[in-house]
């Protein structure tokens, strides 16, 4: 794996150099992990001029399960930061100067004003520039190793969900169902849940990001579930809506069919070269033209990877085009205040049509199941 | 409750005014919650000149369980930030200027360089100053309402722990025990765990911040558990170490007694006026003089409240003195590589001796139980 990380760092430095800086300081944890294979708490990466160093706040490897950083990196450890000294970012900037750097590109969207100021005061002659989202941009297109982690995570989530569906649901609270799903994710080998598992029943169903409450499942409810597994750091997402009882009501069937059609339209729009907002529009217009345009979520999908909410955003004003090997969610939904609603959410990988089109990672059925 | 929040905001503005700024922008979520009773995702607070406004990224109250912000606050909502517009901090700065503010104190330790720059570019004439840790300082001393939330959280954690101890432990993995504890916390009314529950067995026992692994509990192991409940936003912490099997080995008894003595010394040092580092020293020197000085954690305790790790830090170089009504943990521990160790962790509230001295919130026994 070491070559993978080295290659990523090299690509980043090429972009940096094009922006006028030969040295970069990466502080955002997911970016550190992407470039170094691990992100110990508080660690930053100093890259450039042949001096790739991970600067850590405390000793590494205290924990047997700790991910190990790439062995090709030099690791430097500072004494505990409890006394206010020893910010790894400041120490890294100091080291950059010692190696003759004149400028340093930092992640201004992650570094706080206070840390930036501390760097400036310790290294007043170092010109600080903005690395911007350069690492985030590199992270958008995944290699097959990364996709394989997402695929395993999706299998785990599918399995946890399918086991839940075999159990008795009526009378149990949203909170309990969410906790049980998270336990099952871990049972099946996940590092943990990819985000707080969302279970919504009755009037809470169909709501994006709903936090589980003490409401109990009742006959006739819609039940929507959204969960994901983290596997080797990679996070996927699946969402499904079910109906509780033997026969769904007419309005439930109609609403479900509509959201299903919207989600399918979104999935079918996934192809290399498609604009982000085209994909959003494909799903959104199905709901829009049925009169549900008001109150829709501001996006219908987003990238996933080391974070659950990555670039790209599939939203009306998003700029950019999909590439092959970009994993995204497609997750339109409708929520009717007081009644509930439907949300259907898959994680897929964009693939060229020649390779069979988008690869569905979350394979649980999207038929309307009555449980 | 509304008067409580208004009084907190007023005290903050007094401090601000003393620092030369009549207007403040609070962005750190725990600080927003402290001053407003709720911290919707992305929301910031603009305070001063009679214009207390909560600026939100999206509509409030979409969720029945959402905490409601103080009704005395004006709430202003921006359109979704998915398209890159609509940073509530920028909008708040703009509003401050519209109200005639000439300077604005921001939280430089929380605001990123990029957001700070965005504020400057939208309001170039507004002088930006640093609010520093002013809100964090206000948060150190708790009122009785806050302490009562911590007390209930501690009862919940005690209860979850006592139930676990009644179950069979041998053969179960750290990960399962941790998940079961978290489920029990929620069963007993917690909003959720206060932090990732830590369960360490055998060689993993006694390690601060150990993340649960797939190791199974074995006869003769030390088992250390650290957990906490969040109750109405307030987070407490308890840690205990047990031995598995009928008779602990001599080294286990000796080590346990030593850590117990250190923890007691730390607890007994808690009184209004005691220096933070005196409390640390009281616990640390017990371990130090027994030859375990090397490899100790950089702190022996810390404040708790809306965050699990707040001011003060009880550490060798920490500056400051304890006040009454400050809740802190006392949590010394020793870990012997390859063998395991002991950690004992309580949450207590500093009280004057006339009131009976420190109030222990986590009352689970600290005898060495053999399970």
Q: What is the pLDDT of residue B168?
A: 87
CB distance A210 to A169 below 8 Å: no
Q: What is the pLDDT of residue B60?
A: 63
Considering the domain architecture, whether residues B73 and B38 belong to the same structural domain is answered as: yes
How many Cα atoms within 13 Å fall on the side-chain side of residue B185?
A: 28
Which chain A residue lies closest to B316 (C-alpha atoms)?
Answer: A83
Average the pLDDT over A347-351 and give the result: 98
pLDDT > 90? residue B267: yes
Which chain A residue lies closest to B58 (C-alpha atoms)?
Answer: A298
- d(CA B93, CA B51) in angstroms, rounded, equals 12
CB distance A322 to A314 below 8 Å: no
Considering the domain architecture, whether residues B123 and B190 belong to the same structural domain is answered as: no
> For residue A39, which of A24, A56, A63 has the smallest C-alpha distance?
A56
pLDDT > 90? residue A63: no
Considering the domain architecture, whether residues B225 and B306 belong to the same structural domain is answered as: yes
Q: Is A202 left (phi over 0), alpha (psi -120 to 50) or beta?
A: left
Considering the domain architecture, whether residues A349 and A217 belong to the same structural domain is answered as: yes
Structure tokens at B2: 């509304």
Average the pLDDT over B176-186 and give the result: 92
> Are A204 and B64 inside 8 Å of each other by CB?
yes
CA angle (A124, A129, A133) in 5-degree steps: 145
Average the pLDDT over B242-251 and give the result: 92
Q: What is the pLDDT of residue A65?
A: 47
Considering the domain architecture, whether residues A130 and A182 belong to the same structural domain is answered as: no
Average the pLDDT over A90-109 and give the result: 94
Which SS3 state, helix, strand or coil, does residue B284 take? helix
pLDDT > 50? residue B63: no
CB distance A238 to A273 below 8 Å: no
Which chain B residue lies closest to A277 (C-alpha atoms)?
Answer: B83
Question: Which of A113, A116, A172 is the best mutation test for B, with the most CBs of B within 10 A?
Answer: A113
Q: Which domain holds residue A318?
A: 141-360
Average the pLDDT over A72-78 and give the result: 87
Chain B residues close to A114, C-beta within 8 Å:
108-109, 130
Considering the domain architecture, whether residues B124 and B145 belong to the same structural domain is answered as: no
Q: Which of B83, B109, B298 is facing A114, going by the closest CB pair?
A: B109
Q: Which of A63, A179, A186 is facing B210, going by the closest CB pair?
A: A63
Which SS3 state, helix, strand or coil, does residue B360 take? strand
Q: What is the pLDDT of residue B81?
A: 46
CA angle (A336, A341, A343) in 5-degree steps: 130
Task: Please report how the helices B250-268 and B276-287 are oriented relative to each other, as an axis angle in degrees rounded to 10.
Answer: 160
Which chain A residue lies closest to B317 (C-alpha atoms)?
Answer: A83
Ranking A60-69, B108-117, B338-347 by mean pLDDT, the lowest is: A60-69
Q: Which residue has the tokens 């501690």?
A: B154
Which chain A residue lies closest to B109 (C-alpha atoms)?
Answer: A114
Q: Which residues pair with B243 in a beta bridge?
A: B222, B370
Average the pLDDT over A345-357 and give the result: 96
Which chain A residue lies closest to B297 (C-alpha atoms)?
Answer: A80
Report pLDDT digits (tens) over B195-204: 999 999 999 9
Neighbours of B356 (CB within 10 A): 8
Q: What is the pLDDT of residue B78?
A: 82
- d(CA B358, CA A109) in angstroms, rounded, equals 43
Residue finishing a domain among B114, B139, B164: B139
Report pLDDT digits (tens) over A246-277: 789 999 999 999 999 999 999 999 999 999 99
Inside any domain, residue B369: no
> Are A82 and B313 inside 8 Å of each other by CB?
yes
Calculate the average pLDDT of chain A.
Answer: 92
| DSSP one-letter string for B100-117 | T-SEEEE-TTTSBHHHHH
Inside any domain, residue B112: yes
Inside any domain, residue B218: yes
Show which residues on chain B lie within 8 Å of chain A, measured between beta carbons: 58, 62-65, 80, 82-84, 106, 108-114, 116-117, 130, 175-176, 179, 182-183, 186, 204, 207, 210-211, 213, 298-299, 313, 315-318
Q: What is the pLDDT of residue A84?
A: 43
- d(CA B244, CA B340) in angstroms, rounded, equals 13
> Are A175 and B182 inside 8 Å of each other by CB?
no
Quote the longest CA-to-CA distance of chain B: 73
Residue finishing a domain among B88, B114, B139: B139
> Are B106 and A117 inside 8 Å of each other by CB?
no
CA dihedral A94, A99, A100, A102 (to 10 degrees): -50
- d(CA B111, CA B89) in angstroms, rounded, equals 9
Min distance A356 CA to chain B CA atoms (Å): 31
- Cβ contacts below 8 Å, chain A against chain B, sum to 92
Average the pLDDT over B267-282 and give the result: 97
Inside any domain, residue A194: yes
pLDDT > 60? residue B64: no
- d(CA B70, CA B2) in angstroms, rounded, equals 6
CB distance B90 to B118 below 8 Å: yes
Counting beta carbons within 10 angstroms of the beta carbon of residue B143, is it exposed (0 to 12), middle (13 to 18) or buried (19 or more)? Answer: exposed
CATH number of domain containing A336? 3.90.230.10
Chain A residues close to B316, C-beta within 8 Å:
82-83
Residues whose CB falls within 8 Å of the CB of residue B250, separated by 6 or more in sequence, listed in order: none
CATH number of domain containing B67? 3.40.350.10
Q: Which of A58, A110, A213 is facing B65, going by the closest CB pair?
A: A213
Q: What is the pLDDT of residue B59?
A: 67
Q: What domain count does chain B have?
A: 2
* CA of residue A252 relative to chain centroid, distance: 30
> Are B183 and A183 inside 8 Å of each other by CB?
yes
Q: Which of A62, A111, A207 is facing B112, going by the closest CB pair?
A: A111
> Are B186 and A175 inside 8 Å of each other by CB?
yes
Q: Which of B110, B176, B298 is facing A80, going by the closest CB pair?
A: B298
Q: What is the pLDDT of residue A81?
A: 46
pLDDT > 70? residue B356: yes
CB distance A40 to A70 below 8 Å: no
Considering the domain architecture, whether residues B124 and B167 belong to the same structural domain is answered as: no
Q: Which residues pair with A75 in a beta bridge?
A: A54
Phi then psi for residue A294, to 5 deg, are: -75, 135
> Are A315 and B82 inside 8 Å of each other by CB?
yes
> Are A112 and B112 inside 8 Å of each other by CB?
yes
Considering the domain architecture, whether residues B126 and B160 belong to the same structural domain is answered as: no
Structure tokens at A26: 């990466």
Provide the total of helices (H) and of strands (E) in chain B, helices listed first. Answer: 9, 19
Q: What is the pLDDT of residue A295?
A: 78
Instruction: Read off the pLDDT band of B85 (50, 70, 90).
Output: low
């Amino acid at each position: 794996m070491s070559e993978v990380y080295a290659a990523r760092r090299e690509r980043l430095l090429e972009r940096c150099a094009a922006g006028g800086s030969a040295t970069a300081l990466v502080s955002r944890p997911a970016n550190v992990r992407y470039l170094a294979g691990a992100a110990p708490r508080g660690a930053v990466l100093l890259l450039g001029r042949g001096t790739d160093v991970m600067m850590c706040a405390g000793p590494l490897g205290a924990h047997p399960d700790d991910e190990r950083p790439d062995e090709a990196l030099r690791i430097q450890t500072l004494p505990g930061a409890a006394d206010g000294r020893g910010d790894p970012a400041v120490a890294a900037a100091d080291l950059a100067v010692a190696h003759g750097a004149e400028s340093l590109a930092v992640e201004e969207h992650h570094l706080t004003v206070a840390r930036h100021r501390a760097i400036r005061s310790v290294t007043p002659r170092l010109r600080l520039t903005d690395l911007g989202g350069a690492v985030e941009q590199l992270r958008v297109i995944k290699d097959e190793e990364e996709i394989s982690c997402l695929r395993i995570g999706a299998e785990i989530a599918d399995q946890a969900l399918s086991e839940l569906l075999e159990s008795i649901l009526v009378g149990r609270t949203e909170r309990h169902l969410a906790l049980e799903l998270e336990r099952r994710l871990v049972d099946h080998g996940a590092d943990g849940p990819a985000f707080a598992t969302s279970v919504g029943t009755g009037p809470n169903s169909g709501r994006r990001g709903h936090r589980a409450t003490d409401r109990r499942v009742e006959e006739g409810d819609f039940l929507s579930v959204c969960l994901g597994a983290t596997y080797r750091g990679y996070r996927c997402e699946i969402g499904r809506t079910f109906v509780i009882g033997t026969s769904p009501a007419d309005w439930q069937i109609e609403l479900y069919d509509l959201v299903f059609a919207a989600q399918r339209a979104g999935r079918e729009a996934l192809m290399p070269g498609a604009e982000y907002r085209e994909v959003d529009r494909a799903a959104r217009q199905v709901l829009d033209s049925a009169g549900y345009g008001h109150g829709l979520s501001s996006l219908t999908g987003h990238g996933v990877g080391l974070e659950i909410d990555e670039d790209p955003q599939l939203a009306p004003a998003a700029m950019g085009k999909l590439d092959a090997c970009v994993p995204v969610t497609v997750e339109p939904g409708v929520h009717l205040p007081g009644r509930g609603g439907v949300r259907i959410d898959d994680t897929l990988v964009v693939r060229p049509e020649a390779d069979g089109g988008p690869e569905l990672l979350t394979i649980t059925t999207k038929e309307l199941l009555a449980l």
